Amino acid sequence: MASKAAYKRLTKEYVNMQREPPPFVWAAPDEKNILLCAFRPLSALRGPSDSPFAGGEYHGVLQFPSEYPFKPPGIKMLTPSGRFYPDKKICFSMSDFHPGTWNPAWSVSTILTGLLSFMLSDEMTTGSVTSTDGHKRAFAARSHAWNIQQARFREAFPEYCDTNIRDLPNMGERERGPSVAQPQPQAPVFVFSAPTPTAAGDKAAVPTSDATGSATAWTASLGKVLWEKWRWGLLIALAVVVSRFSSS
């Protein structure tokens, strides 16, 4: 059972993750036990083409102790990946294998981002396996099909159980910036909070058309350019007037 401090801390972290999701990872707490968290990192789905995990979807769990955040979680990867043993605890600096190096300031987002970075490295540890890049790519290609057949994945991520793999809220565009040569499709928007009731008689917002939006943006840009162009002229003229008054 979660302590009051653990419950409060984890609740806050999940809310923060929804507001500012880290790139390529997502997590959902168990509805019955907040100390059990399912995570779904995608290893560079649109990342470097030389990554053997590109296009893969990897499901795992974080098992937090009741003393969290003062003690680290246990971490398991469930999806076969060619990098970690399925359903075996993984040893790395943010897991319960290393309580001495644990930092209570770390969060769910920090842990998953660190795990993703560790997964992309070649460092061997308890819970890791050795395989070729070809094997890793083969696992990545069939990872989503494997996941949606698992009851634990379907229960934790029902919105991601379509036949085709779906993007996470943050697919890394914020960190990399948009691609000019090959523009990426926008990631889907997920709304997690309930809609705020409107007062009686309030009118629904009417979406602005693309043409109106473009005209508004163009007008704003033109005004900004004119202001930048004439601002210094106005300042110089004002300085001349002040100088003349001072001289007289």
**Per-residue pLDDT tens digits for 71-120:** 999 999 999 999 999 999 999 999 999 999 999 999 999 999 999 889 98
- The catalytic residue among 28, 36, 91, 187 is 91
Residues of the chain with pLDDT under 50: 44-48, 178-222, 224-236, 239-243, 245-248
pTM (predicted TM-score): 0.68
What span, in angstroms and rounded, lies between the C-alpha atoms of 48 and 29?
Answer: 30
* Separation in Å, CA 184 to CA 45, 46, 47, 69, 166: 12, 9, 11, 37, 14
What span, in angstroms and rounded, lies between the C-alpha atoms of 96 and 117?
Answer: 18
Angle of CA points 21, 122, 48, to nearest 5°: 50
Is 91 part of the annotated catalytic residue set?
yes
